[in-house]
Structure 1
Amino acid sequence: MNHHPGLFIPGPTNVPDAVRRAMNVPQEDMRSPDFPKLTLPLFADLKKVFKTQRGQPFIYPSSGTGGWEAVLTNTLNPGDKVLIATFGQFSVLWADMCQRLGFTTEIVDVEWGKGVPLETFADILAADTAHDIKAVLGTHNETATGVTSDVAGMRKVLDAADHPALLFVDGVSSIASIDFRMDEWGVDGIVAGSQKGFMLPTGLAIICVSEKALEAHRSSKFPRCFFAFEDMLRTNKDGYFPYTPATPLLRGLRASLDLLFEEGLENVFARHRHIASGVRAAVSAWGLDLMAKEPKWHSDTVSAVCVPPDVDAVKVLRRAFDRYGVSFGSGLTRLSGKVFRIGHIGATNELMLLGALSVAEMALVDCGAKIALGSGVAAAQSSYCAGESVLAKAA
């Protein structure tokens, strides 16, 4: 008998039935007089998710990578200097984009398993008295290593140096899952993707930029077309797009936002912390380590689990999929064979993760890991029982 496979990768995530049904609609006229009834409330509600009153949201038919490019090319000029830390595959890719686009890119290479190095950034920004650095880039949640960085701390570092650089954040695997406060933290550009906390298929780059970023856009001479803010601003104000939007995904986004607001964003964040705590308890009970080096780096949306030296994580992934019908995330580039990733982002609950952890245990044992079957599941159960009061308080 064929069963729906278990999906516990950090994106794309599970799509709730209500969201899938919302997308199962006939194609519609994106130029019709009533189309703004859908789109204008979407723009307004995205500001609530990003926790901004002054920011300008944009929705592109793209992946999160397109969102990176949109923020950079609309606010900076060719050859501008940017500062970025790399500590996992996705921060590496963002830095690579900066180099390929021709920006002068100062890269701070950090040990994988740690996050944005605030002290190092502070020294670099304090020394940049000529203000050559035009933008500081930070990955809020590094999906490859299960590491969450301190975005509020990045803003404090910039302010302490009295530095005018723009602050751009990759929030692809954090937005709508981990607390993010655009206005309070002084973020000038935030990038999200539809396939993570928004619980949609891949296909939308959802970004928001500050008034300061829009001001920088007015003097930006970087070549752009598809991602041009000016085209979006001209048409979005009336509820339309400069080209054909992904209308079924917009319908799904409406349903997703309704689910998020029905649960309450603070409750969504508390649920992710709660679910993640059980996964971390299981990993500890197995006697294994997370890729995240310290608790302050722990991600509430994805856990990268280090396998024992004599176990191949690639074989664990294959065993979980072939024998038990469950997908976990692979270790990327230098982490291939060394870690597997458990995604606990989006539409997840205790039941789902307990099943995933039981499969992870069996696949590990099948591949030679010396762990006791049931140990991780029991630890997660204890964590979930103890955490019930936390969820009740959040609700």
Structure 2
Amino acid sequence: MTTRPTTLRSTTSTTSTTLRHGRLHVAIPGPSIIPERVLAAMQRPMPNIYEGPLVDVSSSLFADLPKIARTEGEAFIVIGNGHAAWQMAVSNTMRRGRKVLVLESGRFAVVWGEQAALSGVDVEVLPGAVDGPVDPGAVEDRLRADVDRGIEAVLVVLTDTASSVRNDIPAIRRAIDSARHPALLMVDAIASLACEPFEMDEWGVDVTVAASQKGLMTPPGIAFVWANDKALAAHERADMRVGYFDWESRLDVDAHYQLYNGTPPISHLYALREALDMIFEEGLENTWRRHEVLARSVWAAVDAWGGGRSDGLSCGIATVECRSHAVTTVRTGSVDATRLREVCEDQAGLTLGLGIGADVDRQFRIGHMGHLNPPMLLGTLGTIEAGLHSLGATIGSSGVAAAARVIGDAFA
């Protein structure tokens, strides 16, 4: 009889001691924290996809999604990330060789344009600042100069996830109208839908795109496009329509699965149903208000850390009115942002967003979106402050105390 060799485990850890044991916390600008209710809703056996409860859930989502974007237009669900929504929006409304005007502000509108160019669209980028919003006056001037009306659509982000700038969409709409230009206004609201005010119909937006993994508190995997009558009319003449993304097959529905051009994303649909229920229980306007308070608390913390020093920490967007309520890019001055992120994650279990751009070692991002409350956010800010102390960084004053004052003033 042979016996297996016995390996004795040492009770003494050979790794360095850290404080990261316990529940890890992700404070990146998406995927955001998934509520327990949403996770639980996903845990179910696969159902009948042709009839029964899943059909009812699906129908309720298509009825409720327009409420989130504040529109009477059509809602579409695509299995994919936000880039899939970009593709659906462009391929269903554009013609090959025709022009779109991309409004640069940060990074992601330009990436949307790059993807459109790969599909055969003529893309023109209206230059803008990487750390500032779109200039509506420049938009109006460019559209006035388009005398032959070759520009068929204007592409812009509501919030740029990289820079954390927030654009004034109503002002851009007014610029288009002042130029008497017929171009579609397409808005990427991926980074901040349900985190801050967005009024698709009131603001004159023709196409809106979003995704599940940020303010909508659902795992990555589904994305959304909302289209008004003007966009649906453009669809009739579009010559870039692709089978899977095509709106026509999704609008002319004889069977439930045609809404998705195939098998529905079952677990995601139940997750989204629970997430929307949570938003409606809170009240969408109250959700917007919560995000505003939490965002202002982050800005107060960063200002306190920076202390007005030229080499201190600062918000990436200088103008308060142009800052996102969903994500804040922090410039770290003399502090090594990469090292700060490593300390926070390795020592405390807090994951911060890395900087996107040329100077990644001098910026990081804090996601403050979705399923978030003061204890969670104050814990994030406290850990960042501890990380700054660990690195020997010079800070003006306690950012946690400054953030707590903002939150305390907001208590009813």
TM-score under structure 1 length normalisation: 0.94
8 A contact 2:50–2:256 mirrored in 1: no
Q: Pick one of 344, 361, 366 that aligns with 1:342.
A: 366
Residue number in structure 2 paired with 1:44: 63
Task: Give the match's secondary structure for 2:77.
Answer: strand
Once the two structures are superposed, residues 257-278 of structure 1 have per-residue CA deviations (whole angstroms, 9 ceiling, x without a partner) of 1100000000000000000111
- Bigger mean CA offset, 63-72 vs 288-297: 288-297
Task: Give the match's secondary structure for 1:43.
Answer: helix
8 A contact 2:49–2:263 mirrored in 1: yes
Task: Give the match's secondary structure for 1:59.
Answer: strand
Deviation at 1:92, TM superposition (A): 2.6
Residue number in structure 1 paired with 2:331: 306
Residue number in structure 2 paired with 1:113: 131
Letter in 2 for 1:330: L
Q: Pick one of 33, 38, 46 that aligns with 1:14.
A: 33
Residue number in structure 1 paired with 2:199: 181
Q: Distance in 1 between matches of 2:188 and 2:368?
A: 18
Letter in 1 for 2:45: P
Q: Distance in 2 between matches of 1:85 and 1:367?
A: 39
* The structure with more radius of gyration: 2
Deviation at 1:279, TM superposition (A): 0.5
- The reply on whether 1:94 has 2:112 as its aligned counterpart is yes
Task: Give the match's secondary structure for 1:130.
Answer: coil
Once the two structures are superposed, residues 132-153 of structure 1 have per-residue CA deviations (whole angstroms, 9 ceiling, x without a partner) of 1100011000111111101111
Q: Distance in 2 between matches of 1:334 and 1:236?
A: 50
Pair 236,172 (structure 1): closer, same or farther in 2 beyond 3 Å: farther
Residue number in structure 1 paired with 2:321: 296
Q: Within 5 Å, which residues of 2 pair with 1:17-28?
A: 17-28=36-47
8 A contact 2:151–2:183 mirrored in 1: yes
How many residues of Structure 1 are paired with residues of Structure 2 in the alignment?
386
Residue number in structure 2 paired with 1:257: 276
Residue number in structure 1 paired with 2:12: none
8 A contact 2:102–2:110 mirrored in 1: no
Q: Distance in 2 between matches of 1:259 and 1:237?
A: 29
Could you tell me which runs of 5 or more consecutive residues in structure 2 were left unpaired when the two chains were aligned. Answer: 1-19, 307-312
Once the two structures are superposed, residues 151-171 of structure 1 have per-residue CA deviations (whole angstroms, 9 ceiling, x without a partner) of 111111111111100000000
- The reply on whether 1:76 has 2:94 as its aligned counterpart is yes
Letter in 1 for 2:74: Q
- Bigger mean CA offset, 11-20 vs 291-300: 291-300
Q: Pick one of 290, 293, 300 that aligns with 1:274.
A: 293
8 A contact 1:10–1:329 mirrored in 2: yes
Letter in 1 for 2:238: S
Once the two structures are superposed, residues 104-129 of structure 1 have per-residue CA deviations (whole angstroms, 9 ceiling, x without a partner) of 11112222110122111010011112
Q: Pick one of 226, 246, 250 that aligns with 1:208.
A: 226
* TM-align CA RMSD: 1.5
Q: Within 5 Å, which residues of 2 pair with 1:115-134?
A: 115-134=133-152
Residue number in structure 2 paired with 1:393: none
8 A contact 1:235–1:242 mirrored in 2: no
Q: Distance in 1 between matches of 2:326 and 2:399?
A: 18
Moved over 4 A (4+): 236-240
8 A contact 1:178–1:272 mirrored in 2: yes
Residue number in structure 2 paired with 1:357: 381
Letter in 2 for 1:295: V
Pair 250,95 (structure 1): closer, same or farther in 2 beyond 3 Å: same
Q: Pick one of 360, 366, 377 that aligns with 2:390.
A: 366
Deviation at 1:223, TM superposition (A): 4.4
Q: Distance in 1 between matches of 2:53 and 2:282?
A: 28
Residue number in structure 2 paired with 1:379: 402
Q: Distance in 2 between matches of 1:9 and 1:138?
A: 22
Task: Give the match's secondary structure for 1:334.
Answer: coil
Identity of aligned residues (%): 37
Deviation at 1:3, TM superposition (A): 2.1
8 A contact 1:11–1:343 mirrored in 2: yes
Letter in 1 for 2:42: M
Letter in 1 for 2:29: P
8 A contact 2:80–2:221 mirrored in 1: yes
Once the two structures are superposed, residues 287-344 of structure 1 have per-residue CA deviations (whole angstroms, 9 ceiling, x without a partner) of 1211113112111100101002x32211111111001110010001324112110110
Deviation at 1:230, TM superposition (A): 1.2
8 A contact 1:116–1:139 mirrored in 2: no
Q: Distance in 1 between matches of 2:325 and 2:75?
A: 25
Q: Pick one of 165, 176, 180 that aligns with 2:183.
A: 165
Pair 236,108 (structure 1): closer, same or farther in 2 beyond 3 Å: farther
- Bigger mean CA offset, 311-320 vs 321-330: 311-320
TM-score under structure 2 length normalisation: 0.91
